[in-house]
Amino acid sequence: MKGLAELGEFGLIDHIRARFPQPVAPELGIGDDAALLSPSAGRQVVVSTDLLAEGVHFDPGFGPARLLGRKSLAVNLSDLASMGAIPRWFFLSLAIPAGFSLETIEGFLDGLAEQAAEHNCILAGGDTCGSKGGLTISVTIMGEQRPELILKRSGAQPGDDVWVSGSLGDSALGLKLLMEGVRLGGAHDPLLLRQLDPTPRCELGLKLAEAGLVNAMIDISDGLLADLGHICEQSVCGAEILLGQLPLSPALYTCSSKQPVFPWPLVISGGEDYELCFTAPRCNREAIQKISKTAGIPLTVVGKVTNSRQVQAILPDGTNFQPSASGYTHF
């Protein structure tokens, strides 16, 4: 197999193009200066972009490159899920350090192609360049949805239930374990994989949007408190979260039982859960639980929207919990 330097930039682009299905005519993907893409009739285009920088968002030593490829697209798919959009196309840009292994790039592309195929999402273009630092990955994703079905952060109403999908805190605890030297292949794999290979809730987000039951929605990337705070800011309201009602996995309980203090900060502020948080009128509870059963994903009421302008977290004993930070921030 050729090395990356021998393959060259345009050879790498051709190599990437060969790994992914291309748009069907009259659309145009990789090969020209720009792509030509057409949304379905009556639908708006929904666009999101995420940047993953080595040493900030990921450590190549934590797991196989295939999982990094999967995660690179998953975090963008999660953004579309939170708006009830259907994934269509994505763009990949890579800044690659000198001497980087082509074998690692191959593994990364394997995972990226797996995730794209699972969600019927087509690679339509991108860019490559060298990096004087670590590996940098930028993915821009485009989806579509009928305008009246697109879910935003700005529709929450006082009295709404606050719901979350799946379980919280696994990814943050998994990252803590990875940073302590734990690696895949042991009892902590369920926690590590929530960090290394998150599952975007695309089908669930689409079902919730189509059902018309939800007032506001966001994906949990920076932590429940921070991301629910974004809904409250955009909706000009507040919220109260009951920590005793948060859905927690058996793996988190087992690992946390050995700690002197329960890791509530990881659960509500750790981030990278990539679950959905949404608000809905209380009268929609039964209908939402039916969607939960159909999608096979647990949905849990964890609090309510209030008239205040604050997000409060209430411990099981009824006292307020004040974490040192509401969620992850870069600056």
Per-residue confidence (pLDDT) for residue 25, from 0 to 100:
57
Is 57 flagged in the annotation as binding? Answer: yes
Task: Provide mean pLDDT across the span 146-154.
Answer: 97
Higher pLDDT, 324 or 67: 67
Structural domains in the chain, CATH included, are 4-149 (3.30.1330.10), 161-321 (3.90.650.10)
When pLDDT is cut at 50, 70 and 90, the band that residue 330 belongs to is low
Whole-angstrom CA distances from 181 to 87, 177, 192, 313 are 36, 6, 11, 31
Query: Residues with Cβ < 8 Å from 84, sequence gap 6 or more?
Result: 145, 149, 150, 151, 205, 206, 208, 209, 210, 217
Separation of alpha carbons 42 and 242, rounded Å? 40
CA 57 to chain centre: 13
End-to-end CA distance of the chain: 41
Per-residue confidence (pLDDT) for residue 146, from 0 to 100:
97
Is 170 flagged in the annotation as binding? Answer: no
Is 309 flagged in the annotation as binding? Answer: no
Q: Is the CB of residue 208 less than 8 Å from the CB of residue 278?
A: yes
Task: Provide mean pLDDT across the span 93-101.
Answer: 90
Is 59 flagged in the annotation as binding? Answer: no
- At residue 280, φ and ψ (nearest 5 deg) are -155, 150
Is 161 flagged in the annotation as binding? Answer: no
Task: Provide mean pLDDT across the span 62-86.
Answer: 98
Is 221 flagged in the annotation as binding? Answer: yes
**Is the predicted pLDDT of residue 13 greater than 90, yes or no?**
no
Per-residue confidence (pLDDT) for residue 15, from 0 to 100:
80
Per-residue confidence (pLDDT) for residue 24, from 0 to 100:
66
Sheet bearing 122-131, strands edge to edge: 44-53, 136-145, 86-97, 122-131
The sign of the dihedral angle between the CA atoms of 169, 203, 68, 189 is positive
DSSP string spanning 92-153? EEEEEETT--HHHHHHHHHHHHHHHHHTT-EEEEEEEEEESSS-EEEEEEEEEE-GGG---S
Q: What is the pTM of this model?
A: 0.93
Is 126 flagged in the annotation as binding? Answer: yes
DSSP H stretches of helix in 144-223: 170-179, 189-196, 202-211
Higher pLDDT, 201 or 2: 201
Whole-angstrom CA distances from 306 to 122, 164, 319 are 41, 17, 17
The number of CA neighbours under 13 Å toward the Cβ of 263 is 22
**Is the predicted pLDDT of residue 290 greater than 90, yes or no?**
yes
Per cent of the chain over pLDDT 90 is 81
Is 197 flagged in the annotation as binding? Answer: no
Is 110 flagged in the annotation as binding? Answer: no
When pLDDT is cut at 50, 70 and 90, the band that residue 212 belongs to is very high
The tens digit of pLDDT for each residue in 228-284 reads 999 999 999 999 999 999 999 999 999 998 888 899 999 999 999 999 999 999 999
- At residue 142, φ and ψ (nearest 5 deg) are -130, 130
Tokens in use for 245? 């009602």
When pLDDT is cut at 50, 70 and 90, the band that residue 2 belongs to is low
The tens digit of pLDDT for each residue in 17-52 reads 888 877 665 576 777 788 888 899 999 999 999 999
Query: Residues with Cβ < 8 Å from 172, sequence gap 6 or more?
Result: 195, 223, 266, 267, 269, 270, 271, 272, 273
Sheet bearing 161-165, strands edge to edge: 216-219, 276-280, 161-165, 299-306, 238-242, 311-314, 320-321
Separation of alpha carbons 196 and 170, rounded Å? 11
Is 189 flagged in the annotation as binding? Answer: no
The tens digit of pLDDT for each residue in 48-65 reads 999 999 999 999 999 999
Give the chain's mean pLDDT: 93
Is 50 flagged in the annotation as binding? Answer: yes
The DSSP symbol for 32 reads B
**Is the predicted pLDDT of residue 182 greater than 80, yes or no?**
yes
Separation of alpha carbons 266 and 262, rounded Å? 9
**Is the predicted pLDDT of residue 111 greater than 90, yes or no?**
yes
Whole-angstrom CA distances from 237 to 229, 230, 233, 328 are 9, 10, 7, 22
Closest CA to 81 of 217, 211, 205: 205
**Is the predicted pLDDT of residue 225 greater than 90, yes or no?**
yes
When pLDDT is cut at 50, 70 and 90, the band that residue 331 belongs to is low
Is 317 flagged in the annotation as binding? Answer: no
Q: What are the beta bridge partners of residue 241?
A: 303, 313
When pLDDT is cut at 50, 70 and 90, the band that residue 318 belongs to is very high
Separation of alpha carbons 31 and 156, rounded Å? 44
Tokens in use for 89? 């196309």
